[in-house]
Structure 1
Amino acid sequence: MPLEPLEPLQSLRPPAAGSAPAHEPQGCLYALSQPPLMLFLLVIGGLLGLGAAYDLLFL
Structure 2
Amino acid sequence: MSAWIDPHATQLGGWHLVSPQGTIEITVPSHHPVGLRKLVVQDADDEVIGWTELRVLQRAK
- Please classify the TM superposition score into its range, dividing by the shorter chain length: under 0.3
TM norm structure 1: 0.16
TM norm structure 2: 0.15
> Bigger radius of gyration, 1 or 2?
1
Q: Which protein has the bigger helix share?
A: 1
Q: Which protein has the bigger strand share?
A: 2
